[in-house]
Protein backbone atom coordinates (compact mmCIF):
# COMPACT_ATOMS: atom_id res chain seq x y z
CA UNK A 1 0.00 0.00 0.00
CA UNK A 2 1.27 3.47 -0.85
CA UNK A 3 2.20 5.71 2.10
CA UNK A 4 -0.73 8.03 2.87
CA UNK A 5 0.56 11.61 2.98
CA UNK A 6 -1.67 14.28 4.48
CA UNK A 7 -1.11 17.80 3.10
CA UNK A 8 -2.53 20.86 4.81
CA UNK A 9 -4.26 23.40 2.60
CA UNK A 10 -5.67 26.90 2.30
CA UNK A 11 -9.28 27.99 2.76
CA UNK A 12 -9.66 31.11 0.63
CA UNK A 13 -12.01 32.84 -1.82
CA UNK A 14 -11.42 31.29 -5.24
CA UNK A 15 -12.73 31.31 -8.80
CA UNK A 16 -13.00 28.15 -10.92
CA UNK A 17 -15.17 27.21 -13.93
CA UNK A 18 -18.44 29.12 -13.31
CA UNK A 19 -18.02 29.46 -9.53
CA UNK A 20 -16.71 32.11 -7.17
CA UNK A 21 -16.78 30.86 -3.60
CA UNK A 22 -14.64 29.99 -0.59
CA UNK A 23 -12.69 26.82 -1.34
CA UNK A 24 -10.29 24.42 0.36
CA UNK A 25 -7.40 24.58 -2.09
CA UNK A 26 -3.78 23.66 -2.61
CA UNK A 27 -1.35 24.22 -5.49
CA UNK A 28 -1.37 21.05 -7.58
CA UNK A 29 2.42 20.84 -7.53
CA UNK A 30 2.31 19.49 -3.96
CA UNK A 31 0.00 16.68 -5.05
CA UNK A 32 2.04 15.96 -8.17
CA UNK A 33 5.33 15.64 -6.29
CA UNK A 34 3.89 13.37 -3.60
CA UNK A 35 2.28 11.12 -6.21
CA UNK A 36 5.45 11.01 -8.30
CA UNK A 37 7.43 10.05 -5.19
CA UNK A 38 5.14 7.06 -4.63
CA UNK A 39 2.80 8.46 -1.99
CA UNK A 40 -0.98 8.77 -1.89
CA UNK A 41 -1.74 12.45 -1.28
CA UNK A 42 -4.70 13.39 0.93
CA UNK A 43 -5.64 17.05 1.38
CA UNK A 44 -6.40 18.12 4.98
CA UNK A 45 -8.64 21.21 5.22
CA UNK A 46 -8.32 23.46 8.29
CA UNK A 47 -11.60 22.40 9.86
CA UNK A 48 -12.67 20.32 12.83
CA UNK A 49 -9.78 18.73 14.72
CA UNK A 50 -7.40 17.32 12.10
CA UNK A 51 -4.95 16.37 14.85
CA UNK A 52 -7.16 13.33 15.42
CA UNK A 53 -6.23 12.07 11.93
CA UNK A 54 -2.53 11.45 12.51
CA UNK A 55 -3.13 7.78 13.31
CA UNK A 56 -4.46 7.31 9.78
CA UNK A 57 -1.47 8.93 8.08
CA UNK A 58 2.03 7.77 7.23
CA UNK A 59 3.35 11.31 6.84
CA UNK A 60 2.32 14.96 7.14
CA UNK A 61 3.25 17.87 4.88
CA UNK A 62 2.54 21.31 6.32
CA UNK A 63 2.21 23.48 3.23
CA UNK A 64 2.84 27.15 2.51
CA UNK A 65 0.37 29.93 3.19
CA UNK A 66 -0.22 33.20 5.01
CA UNK A 67 1.43 34.47 8.16
CA UNK A 68 1.02 32.98 11.64
CA UNK A 69 -0.65 35.16 14.27
CA UNK A 70 2.41 36.68 16.01
CA UNK A 71 0.57 36.48 19.33
CA UNK A 72 1.40 32.77 19.24
CA UNK A 73 5.05 33.61 19.80
CA UNK A 74 4.53 36.64 22.04
CA UNK A 75 4.98 39.47 19.52
CA UNK A 76 2.87 42.42 18.41
CA UNK A 77 1.75 42.38 14.79
CA UNK A 78 4.08 44.02 12.27
CA UNK A 79 2.34 46.28 9.69
CA UNK A 80 3.44 43.92 6.90
CA UNK A 81 2.22 40.72 8.61
CA UNK A 82 -0.91 39.59 6.79
CA UNK A 83 -3.24 36.86 5.56
CA UNK A 84 -3.58 35.60 9.14
CA UNK A 85 -6.17 32.83 9.38
CA UNK A 86 -6.73 31.88 13.02
CA UNK A 87 -8.66 28.74 12.07
CA UNK A 88 -5.75 27.53 9.96
CA UNK A 89 -3.30 28.26 12.76
CA UNK A 90 -5.50 26.26 15.15
CA UNK A 91 -5.72 23.30 12.76
CA UNK A 92 -2.04 23.15 11.85
CA UNK A 93 -0.70 23.59 15.36
CA UNK A 94 -3.02 20.78 16.46
CA UNK A 95 -1.76 18.58 13.62
CA UNK A 96 1.92 19.28 14.24
CA UNK A 97 1.70 18.71 17.98
CA UNK A 98 -0.16 15.43 17.47
CA UNK A 99 2.32 14.34 14.78
CA UNK A 100 5.29 15.12 17.01
CA UNK A 101 3.73 13.20 19.89
CA UNK A 102 3.35 10.08 17.72
CA UNK A 103 6.63 10.53 15.78
CA UNK A 104 4.78 10.84 12.51
CA UNK A 105 7.18 11.96 9.74
CA UNK A 106 6.73 15.68 8.99
CA UNK A 107 7.87 17.82 6.07
CA UNK A 108 7.30 21.56 6.56
CA UNK A 109 7.36 23.83 3.53
CA UNK A 110 7.66 27.62 3.87
CA UNK A 111 4.87 28.45 6.36
CA UNK A 112 5.22 24.83 7.47
CA UNK A 113 8.75 25.49 8.74
CA UNK A 114 7.46 28.51 10.65
CA UNK A 115 4.60 26.51 12.19
CA UNK A 116 7.08 23.84 13.33
CA UNK A 117 9.43 26.43 14.83
CA UNK A 118 6.68 28.27 16.71
CA UNK A 119 5.03 25.03 17.88
CA UNK A 120 8.34 24.05 19.50
CA UNK A 121 8.88 27.43 21.17
CA UNK A 122 10.70 29.51 18.56
CA UNK A 123 9.93 32.97 17.16
CA UNK A 124 9.83 34.60 13.72
CA UNK A 125 11.19 37.63 11.91
CA UNK A 126 7.93 39.19 10.71
CA UNK A 127 9.36 41.07 7.71
CA UNK A 128 12.72 39.96 6.31
CA UNK A 129 13.51 43.19 4.41
CA UNK A 130 13.78 44.89 7.83
CA UNK A 131 16.64 42.52 8.65
CA UNK A 132 18.45 41.76 5.40
CA UNK A 133 17.60 44.99 3.51
CA UNK A 134 16.19 43.29 0.41
CA UNK A 135 12.92 41.78 -0.80
CA UNK A 136 14.59 39.12 -2.95
CA UNK A 137 13.10 36.31 -0.84
CA UNK A 138 9.68 37.52 -2.04
CA UNK A 139 10.31 39.98 -4.86
CA UNK A 140 6.74 40.67 -6.04
CA UNK A 141 3.22 39.26 -5.56
CA UNK A 142 3.06 35.84 -7.22
CA UNK A 143 6.74 35.91 -8.26
CA UNK A 144 9.35 33.52 -6.85
CA UNK A 145 12.79 34.79 -6.00
CA UNK A 146 15.92 32.72 -6.62
CA UNK A 147 18.29 33.02 -3.67
CA UNK A 148 21.40 30.85 -3.20
CA UNK A 149 21.16 28.48 -0.23
CA UNK A 150 24.13 26.75 1.41
CA UNK A 151 23.31 23.21 2.50
CA UNK A 152 24.58 21.20 5.45
CA UNK A 153 24.17 17.47 6.00
CA UNK A 154 21.84 15.68 5.42
CA UNK A 155 20.65 17.99 2.62
CA UNK A 156 24.07 17.89 0.96
CA UNK A 157 23.75 14.12 0.58
CA UNK A 158 20.21 14.46 -0.71
CA UNK A 159 20.98 17.12 -3.33
CA UNK A 160 24.51 15.96 -4.12
CA UNK A 161 25.88 19.49 -3.77
CA UNK A 162 26.62 22.12 -1.15
CA UNK A 163 24.58 24.93 -2.69
CA UNK A 164 21.28 25.25 -4.56
CA UNK A 165 19.21 28.18 -5.84
CA UNK A 166 15.61 27.18 -5.15
CA UNK A 167 12.35 29.10 -5.47
CA UNK A 168 11.65 31.46 -2.58
CA UNK A 169 8.42 33.20 -1.66
CA UNK A 170 8.57 34.22 1.99
CA UNK A 171 8.82 37.55 3.77
CA UNK A 172 9.11 35.91 7.20
CA UNK A 173 11.66 33.47 8.60
CA UNK A 174 13.05 31.99 11.81
CA UNK A 175 14.26 34.49 14.39
CA UNK A 176 14.88 32.45 17.56
CA UNK A 177 15.34 28.81 16.63
CA UNK A 178 13.20 26.48 18.75
CA UNK A 179 14.92 24.14 21.22
CA UNK A 180 15.72 20.81 19.59
CA UNK A 181 15.80 22.10 16.01
CA UNK A 182 19.06 22.12 14.05
CA UNK A 183 19.76 24.44 11.13
CA UNK A 184 20.68 22.48 7.99
CA UNK A 185 20.59 25.27 5.36
CA UNK A 186 21.05 29.02 5.21
CA UNK A 187 20.66 31.61 2.49
CA UNK A 188 23.76 33.58 1.58
CA UNK A 189 22.42 36.45 3.72
CA UNK A 190 22.25 34.23 6.80
CA UNK A 191 18.50 33.51 6.75
CA UNK A 192 17.68 30.05 8.11
CA UNK A 193 16.30 28.08 5.16
CA UNK A 194 15.99 24.52 6.48
CA UNK A 195 15.82 22.80 9.84
CA UNK A 196 15.48 19.31 11.23
CA UNK A 197 14.35 17.89 14.55
CA UNK A 198 15.49 14.34 13.82
CA UNK A 199 15.50 11.97 10.84
CA UNK A 200 11.69 12.04 10.69
CA UNK A 201 11.04 15.80 10.94
CA UNK A 202 12.47 18.21 8.36
CA UNK A 203 11.35 21.60 7.09
CA UNK A 204 12.49 23.94 4.33
CA UNK A 205 11.73 27.63 3.96
CA UNK A 206 11.86 27.60 0.16
CA UNK A 207 9.26 26.08 -2.20
CA UNK A 208 10.56 22.75 -3.54
CA UNK A 209 7.19 22.02 -5.16
CA UNK A 210 7.84 24.88 -7.62
CA UNK A 211 10.75 23.02 -9.27
CA UNK A 212 10.65 19.93 -11.45
CA UNK A 213 13.32 18.19 -9.40
CA UNK A 214 12.50 18.17 -5.69
CA UNK A 215 14.38 15.39 -3.88
CA UNK A 216 12.97 16.40 -0.48
CA UNK A 217 9.61 14.89 -1.54
CA UNK A 218 11.13 11.58 -2.54
CA UNK A 219 13.16 11.36 0.66
CA UNK A 220 10.13 12.24 2.78
CA UNK A 221 7.77 9.74 1.15
CA UNK A 222 10.44 7.05 1.51
CA UNK A 223 10.76 7.77 5.24
CA UNK A 224 6.98 7.72 5.62
CA UNK A 225 6.75 4.39 3.82
CA UNK A 226 9.25 2.76 6.15
CA UNK A 227 7.85 4.19 9.34
CA UNK A 228 7.89 1.25 11.81
CA UNK A 229 4.71 2.35 13.57
CA UNK A 230 2.91 3.67 10.50
CA UNK A 231 -0.77 3.32 9.69
CA UNK A 232 -1.81 -0.31 9.44
CA UNK A 233 1.71 -1.59 10.11
Active site residues: 110, 207, 209
Q: How far is CA 227 from the centre of its chain?
A: 20
Rounded Cα gap, residues 225 and 5, in angstroms = 10
Residues with Cβ < 8 Å from 177, sequence gap 6 or more?
117, 122, 183, 192, 195
For residue 130, what are the CA distances in angstroms to 89, 118, 127, 133, 208? Answer: 24, 20, 6, 6, 25
Environment class of 160 (CB within 10 Å of its CB; exposed 0-12, middle 13-18, buried 19+): exposed
Residue 150 backbone dihedrals phi, psi, to 5 degrees? -90, 130
- Asked if 87 and 24 touch (Cβ cutoff 8 Å), the reply is no
Q: How far is CA 121 from the centre of its chain?
A: 17
Residue 90 backbone dihedrals phi, psi, to 5 degrees? -55, -45
Amino acid sequence: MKPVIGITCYAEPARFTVWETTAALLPWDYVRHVERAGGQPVILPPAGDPGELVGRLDGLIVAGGGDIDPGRYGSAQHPRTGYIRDFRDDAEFSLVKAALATRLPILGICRGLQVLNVALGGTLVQHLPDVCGTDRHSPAPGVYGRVPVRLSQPLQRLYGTGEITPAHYHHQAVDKLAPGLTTIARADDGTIEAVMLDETVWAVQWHPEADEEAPVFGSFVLRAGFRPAGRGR
